[in-house]
């Protein structure tokens, strides 16, 4: 029985790993060709951006330096070969190793995303608990708040909060400054819409759980309101929310593009934006690959978390 | 995003009208030394801090603080000494001798000599450098000979009346030959010049740290003081979003911001703690170019009809709130050889437009009310670069689209990112386009309107977007570029601009906007009369 479980786990891990490699290859390939299909010359990125009016000699030099004079298929093969050895290449625009640029920027973005996720989860939980336990009016208010929160665009929220907390009240810096104070507005900007989504899901699940047979069973065992809620219903409600965490992480990374730009924060989102604008192919692929990898890592972890929270999944073999 | 931000800022300005307004501090008149100024740029972050590499405006903005040129320009547009004290041109116009200052040292200790000038020109002309702006400006320069330590001779392949203007630009600034000998990546990160400040760190996507050069001795002839700068240093930050940039200025997080939008300028007028500096860029005015190489704009009648149908003045008034002045010239108002047409040439007149279209044979009307000829709708493709066009300008294009519709033009506005936009231009896939071009001096006309400018570079880029091919115009631009007679040069350029304007190849709009907002305690900030980049050399903080 033990070896069987271990074998299943090994097979599951192997499949998962194969999937990861396949997805990374697909992402690299699609990005590589997509960036080449849209008009614009990557050699110009080397020379300071499109329309740089570079001389023919300079362009020829740049093409030779970066292998851009080779046929596209050759460039692709060379690039893939390098990727396979873990070499992300060097950025056209920044004249630096993509890996080192990504590493520098990964930390700030992960910190932003992780904090936003935590704050969003806390907000969503608070709102869901308050609105399901507070009767009909608080339920309506909670539901409305969630819908509004989920619908507000990041940039609108960011600018509104800058106006309110920086310009009018003067409590918080309007743009990124070193230290925790500079993180408050960026984190709230990402967390509030996400809390709206998570809250909706959690409240549904909570309401659902409160009416389900196991809660009735618990009550008949003499469990009080609070016990039923905290020990049973909440656990039930966490399951769909955990399932959403992977998706939420993806949305946080895309939201980071906006938030990092508005608050002038260092990070992957801002790197990605400027790399796309300057058609810096290695940089774009590098960032996208790292984001894809992080995304897959997070979904794997949420799968594992699901198994911990939901004992039923542990019994079902995959 | 671009559409919504201006309205948010407008809303914000209303709130600020009520909430803002702090009392102004009494002005100190004696400059004080000390303090770090935070400059927040809304321009792109340079990819290389050496403006020889590539050569665009974001590089010029920051390089003005640490690099210096051979000559500069004063407020009257006259060439004045800087690193070079004197110059003379040979009678045949084929060689220029520059006398250099002999008491200047680069911040890495390398002495500034004629050899350094020669190395810089060679660096700009080396394909491996990847220079575009500097390279183009030095096209007629064959080499630089070192006559002696303080005399550099520029040897030309043909006379170049724009040489001094070209050399005044920050993209041709002089760097330490010792520093240039390093690998490019290294020089990009810490270029070394003779300027009042020194680059000490570059934290990408965050800021560039600049510290005062205590041994500084070489201000341009029109600077307000001598000796080292007043500021201890500058924190040069990148704040891409215009709303947060203004919020940061108001909060005092930053001291100076650039790329200020019209609605923000208006909002700031009522805020006592904030002042404005308006410094239009030289070179070309902002204008719409009409692609005369293909139908329907190969017909001058249709070009004139479009220009008559465009209600530019009303659109500027409503969208720029008097922060931009209408231009009737291909050149910026700061160019002393700029020629302005009679405003009547561009007068808004729908009846005239209708008559012109009738005359040109666009007499049919299609189902949607647009003019047509032989069953073909009068359609115009107008790709718009969202990276280079501010939101107010994009709204202006929309208003022009609406007034042109009344005349029967169907204008297809296509907002594109920079690469796609250049792609569309390279494929001749446009009828209307608006492209900025900054250069010191009227020689920019040669780049924009010479027939040679219609031939795409290997990158697909060409600068003559209106695709004017006119022998008389070419001849005028050629002789203006070669003559050493100032009066003749002025006449040639005036005649050339007249041909461009009267041929309805362009619709001039306004100067290239260059507005700065600064906190009221920032004193002595001025824009260089060269390409209007701010210089912080004379700047001090009154706090």
pLDDT for the residue numbered B20: 39
DSSP B453: G
State the pLDDT at residue A292.
87
Q: Which residue has the higher pLDDT, A63 or B478?
A: B478
Per-residue pLDDT tens over the stretch B96-117 = 999 999 999 999 999 999 999 9
Of A40, A155, A271, the CB nearest to B420: A40
A-chain residues within 8 Å CB-CB of B247? 162-163, 166-167, 174-175
Of A57, A167, A177, the CB nearest to B247: A167
Q: Are residues B496 and B523 in the same domain?
A: no
CB contact under 8 A, B15 and A61: no
Can you give the pLDDT at residue A253?
A: 84
β-sheet with B151-156: strand ranges across: B84-89, B95-100, B151-156, B141-148
The answer to whether the CB atoms of B419 and A174 lie below 8 A apart is no
From the list A108, A90, A123, the residue with the least C-alpha distance to A253 is A108
Interface test with A, best of B2, B54, B56, B450 (most A CBs within 10 A): B54
Interface contact flag, B248 A39, Cβ < 8 Å:
no
In a domain, B103, yes or no: yes
For residue A42, the model assigns a pLDDT of: 73
For A88-142, what is each residue's pLDDT tens digit?
888 887 778 899 989 989 999 999 999 999 999 899 988 888 887 777 888 888 8
> Does residue B2 belong to any structural domain of this protein?
no
What is chain A's mean pLDDT, rounded?
83
Q: Using alpha carbons, select from B56, B59, B84, B55 the residue that is nearest to residue B69.
A: B84
What whole-number distance in Å separates Cα of residue B194 and Cα of residue A311? Answer: 71
Query: What CATH number should be reported for the domain holding residue B415?
Result: 3.10.105.10
Asked if residue A299 has pLDDT above 70, the reply is yes
Q: Do B303 and B352 sit in the same domain of this protein?
A: yes
Q: Evaluate whether residue B4 is within a structural domain.
A: no
Q: Do A61 and B1 touch (CB under 8 A)?
A: no
Angle (CA) A79-B129-B419 rounded to 5° is: 55
Per-residue confidence (pLDDT) for residue A277, from 0 to 100: 76
Residue that is written with structure tokens 């890592």 in the block: A297
Residue B358: DSSP 8-state: H
Q: How far is A284 from chain B (nearest CA, A)?
A: 15
Name the residue among A58, A101, A278 with its Cβ closest to that of B127.
A58
From B30, B112, B31, B109, select the one nearest B70 (Cα to Cα): B112
Report the C-alpha gap between B33 and B27 in whole angstroms: 16
What is the rounded distance in angstroms from the CA atom of residue A256 to the CA atom of residue B493?
A: 50
Distance in angstroms (rounded) separating the CA atoms of residues A293 and A207: 35
Domain that holds residue B256: 10-279+514-541
**B387 → chain A, closest CA residue:** A277
Closest alpha carbon within chain B to A52: B132
Residue A245 scores a pLDDT above 90? no
Q: Are residues B303 and B268 in the same domain?
A: no
- Beta-carbon separation of B127 and A61 below 8 A: yes
Residue B200 in any domain: the answer is: yes
Average pLDDT over residues A59-86: 85
Q: Which of A57, A262, A277 sits opposite B417 (nearest CB)?
A: A277
CATH of the domain at B233: 3.40.190.10
Determine, for residues B251 and A96 on separate chains, whether the beta-carbon distance falls below 8 Å. no
Check whether residue B338 and residue B388 sit in a common domain: yes
CA angle B430, B434, B439 (to 5 degrees): 130
Rounded average pLDDT over A143-157? 90
Chain A residues with beta carbon closer than 8 angstroms to that of B460: 41
The ipTM of this complex is 0.81
pLDDT band at A4 (very low <50, low <70, confident <90, very high): low
Higher pLDDT, residue B194 or A1: B194
C-alpha separations of B459 from A51, A55, B128, B446 in Å: 8, 9, 16, 20
Distance from CA of B406 to the nearest CA of A (A): 33
Asked if residue B395 and residue B255 are part of one domain, the reply reads no
Are A155 and B5 in contact (CB < 8 Å)? yes
E strand segments, B374-457: 376-377, 379-385, 410-416, 432-433
Q: What local confidence, expressed as pLDDT, does residue B47 receive?
A: 85
Same domain, B101 and B178: yes
Give the pLDDT score at A236: 76
Task: Determine, yes or no, domain membership for B1.
Answer: no
DSSP states along A14-66 = HHHHHHHHHHHHHHHHHHHHHHHHSSS-HHHHHTTSTT----HHHHHHHHHHT
Q: Are residues B135 and B207 in the same domain?
A: yes
Smallest Cβ distance to B423: which of A40, A46, A158?
A40
**Chain B residues close to A263, C-beta within 8 Å:** 241, 244
- Supply B475's token pair: 């001849």
Which residues 223-282 of A have a C-beta within 8 angstroms of B?
A: 258, 261-264, 266-267, 270-271, 274, 276-279
Q: How far apart are CA A293 and CA A301, in angstroms?
A: 12
Is A69 within 8 Å of chain B by CB?
Answer: no
Looking at residue B267, its pLDDT comes to 92
Q: What is the pLDDT of residue A62?
A: 79
Do B176 and B312 reside in the same domain of the chain? no
What is the predicted pLDDT for the residue at A208? 80
Backbone angles phi, psi at B402, to 5 degrees: -70, -40
**Residue B156: φ, ψ to 5°:** -110, 155
Closest residue on chain B to A46 (Cα): B130
Cα separation values, B278 from A154, A253, B72, B97, B168, Å: 32, 38, 20, 36, 21
Does B520 lie in the same domain as B428? no
Residues of chain B with pLDDT under 70: 1-28, 457-460
Give the per-residue pLDDT at B165.
Answer: 95
Instruction: Check B205 against A267: CB less than 8 A apart.
Output: yes
Within-domain flag for B3: no
In this structure, the answer to whether residues B341 and B474 fall within a common structural domain is yes
pLDDT for the residue A317: 46
Q: Which A residues 26-45 touch B at CB under 8 Å?
A: 38-41, 43-44
By C-alpha distance, the chain B residue nearest A37 is B420
Residues in A touching B130 (Cβ below 8 Å):
46-48, 54, 58, 61-62
Q: Is residue B126 part of a domain?
A: yes
The per-residue pLDDT for B517 is 97
A36-40, A51-55, A255-259, B405-409 — most confident range: B405-409
Residue pair A194/A154 in contact by the 8 Å Cβ criterion: no
Q: Is the pLDDT of residue A60 over 50?
A: yes
User: Does B204 reside within a domain?
Assistant: yes
Whether residues B297 and B440 fall in one domain: yes
Higher pLDDT among residues A178 and B339, named by residue: B339
At A228 the pLDDT is 75
Q: How many domains does chain B contain in total? A: 2
CB contacts, 8 Å: B127 with chain A: 55, 57-58, 60-61
Nearest-CA residue of chain A relative to B252?
A: A173
- Residues of A in Cβ contact (< 8 Å) with B16: 167
Residues of B in contact with A95 (CB under 8 A): 47-48, 184-185, 188
Q: How many angstroms separate the most distant Cα atoms in chain B?
A: 76
- Which residues of chain A lie closer than 8 angstroms to B48, CB-CB? 48, 95
Q: Are residues B258 and B320 in the same domain?
A: no
């Amino acid at each position: 029985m033990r070896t069987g479980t271990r074998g299943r786990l090994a097979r599951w891990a192997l499949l998962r790993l194969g999937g990861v490699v396949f997805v990374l290859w697909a992402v690299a390939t699609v990005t590589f060709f997509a960036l080449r299909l849209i008009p614009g010359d990557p050699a110009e990125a080397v020379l300071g951006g499109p329309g740089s009016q570079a001389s023919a000699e300079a362009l020829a030099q740049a093409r030779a330096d970066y292998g851009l004079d080779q046929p596209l298929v050759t460039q692709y093969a060379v690039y893939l070969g390098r990727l396979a050895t873990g070499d992300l290449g060097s950025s056209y625009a920044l004249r630096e190793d993509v890996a080192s640029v990504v590493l520098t920027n990964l930390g700030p973005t992960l910190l932003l995303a992780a904090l936003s996720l935590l704050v969003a989860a806390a907000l969503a939980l608070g709102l869901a608990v308050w609105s399901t336990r507070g009767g009909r009016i608080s339920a309506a208010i909670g539901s409305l708040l969630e819908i509004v929160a989920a619908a507000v665009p990041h940039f609108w929220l960011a600018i509104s909060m800058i106006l309110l907390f920086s310009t009018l009240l003067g409590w918080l810096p309007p743009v990124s400054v070193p230290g925790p104070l500079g993180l408050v507005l960026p984190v709230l900007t990402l967390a509030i819409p996400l809390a709206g989504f998570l809250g909706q899901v959690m409240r549904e699940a909570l309401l659902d759980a409160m009416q389900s047979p196991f809660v009735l069973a618990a009550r008949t065992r003499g469990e009080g309101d609070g016990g039923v809620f905290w020990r049973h219903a909440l656990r039930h409600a966490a399951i769909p929310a955990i399932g959403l965490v992977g998706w939420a992480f993806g949305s946080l990374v895309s939201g980071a593009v906006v938030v990092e730009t508005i608050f002038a924060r260092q990070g992957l989102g801002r790197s990605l934006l400027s790399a796309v604008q300057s058609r810096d192919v290695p940089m774009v692929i590098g960032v996208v690959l790292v984001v894809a990898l992080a995304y897959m890592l997070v979904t794997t972890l949420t799968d594992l978390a699901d198994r911990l929270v939901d004992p039923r999944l542990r019994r079902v073999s995959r | 995003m671009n559409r919504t931000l201006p309205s948010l800022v407008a809303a914000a300005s209303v709130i600020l009208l009520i909430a803002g307004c702090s009392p102004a501090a009494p002005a100190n008149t004696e400059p004080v030394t000390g303090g770090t100024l935070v400059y927040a740029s809304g321009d792109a972050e340079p990819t290389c801090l050496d403006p020889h590499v590539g050569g665009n405006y974001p590089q010029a903005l920051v390089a003005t603080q640490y690099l210096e040129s051979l000559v500069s320009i004063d407020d009257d547009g006259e060439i004045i000494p800087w690193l070079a004290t004197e110059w003379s041109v040979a009678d045949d116009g084929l060689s220029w001798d520059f006398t250099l200052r002999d008491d200047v040292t680069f911040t890495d200790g390398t002495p500034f000599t004629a050899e350094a000038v020669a190395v810089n020109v060679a660096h700009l002309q080396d394909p491996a450098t990847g220079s575009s702006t500097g390279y183009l400006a030095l096209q007629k320069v064959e080499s630089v000979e070192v006559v002696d330590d303080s005399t550099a001779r520029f040897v030309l392949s043909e006379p170049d009346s724009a040489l001094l203007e070209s050399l005044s630009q920050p993209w041709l600034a002089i760097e330490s030959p010792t520093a240039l000998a390093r690998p490019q990546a290294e020089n990009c990160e810490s270029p070394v010049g003779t300027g009042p400040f020194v680059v000490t760190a570059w934290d990408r996507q965050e800021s560039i740290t600049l510290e005062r050069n205590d041994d500084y001795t070489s201000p341009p002839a029109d600077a307000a003081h001598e000796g080292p700068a007043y500021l201890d240093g500058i924190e040069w930050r990148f704040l891409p979003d215009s709303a947060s940039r203004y919020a940061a200025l108001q909060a005092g997080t930053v001291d100076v911001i650039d790329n200020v939008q019209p609605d923000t300028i208006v909002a700031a007028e009522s805020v006592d703690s904030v002042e404005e500096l308006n410094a239009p860029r030289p070179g070309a005015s902002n204008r719409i170019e009409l692609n005369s190489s293909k139908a329907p704009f190969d017909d001058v009648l249709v070009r004139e009809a479009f220009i008559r149908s465009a209600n530019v003045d009303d659109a500027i008034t409503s969208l720029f709130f008097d922060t931009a002045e209408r231009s009737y010239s291909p050149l910026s108002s700061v160019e002393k050889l700029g020629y302005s047409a009679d405003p009547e040439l561009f007068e808004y007149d729908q009846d005239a437009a209708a008559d012109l279209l009738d005359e040109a044979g666009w007499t049919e009307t299609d189902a949607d009310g647009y003019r047509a000829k032989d069953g073909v709708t009068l359609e115009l493709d107008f790709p718009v670069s969202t990276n280079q066009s501010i939101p107010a300008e994009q709204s202006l294009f929309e208003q022009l689209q609406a007034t042109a519709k009344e005349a029967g033009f169907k204008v297809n506005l296509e907002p594109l990112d920079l690469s796609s936009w250049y792609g569309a231009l390279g494929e001749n896939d446009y009828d209307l386009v608006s492209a900025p071009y900054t250069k010191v001096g009227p020689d920019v006309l040669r780049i924009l309107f010479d027939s040679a400018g219609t031939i795409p570079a290997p990158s697909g880029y060409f600068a003559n977007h209106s695709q004017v091919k006119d022998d008389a115009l070419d001849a005028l631009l050629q002789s203006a570029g070669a003559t050493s007679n100032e009066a003749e040069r002025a006449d040639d350029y005036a005649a050339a601009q007249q041909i461009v304007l009267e041929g309805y190849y362009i619709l001039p709009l306004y100067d290239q906007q260059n507005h700065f907002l600064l906190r009221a305690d920032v004193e002595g900030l001025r824009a260089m009369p060269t390409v209007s980049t701010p210089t912080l050399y004379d700047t001090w903080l009154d706090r």
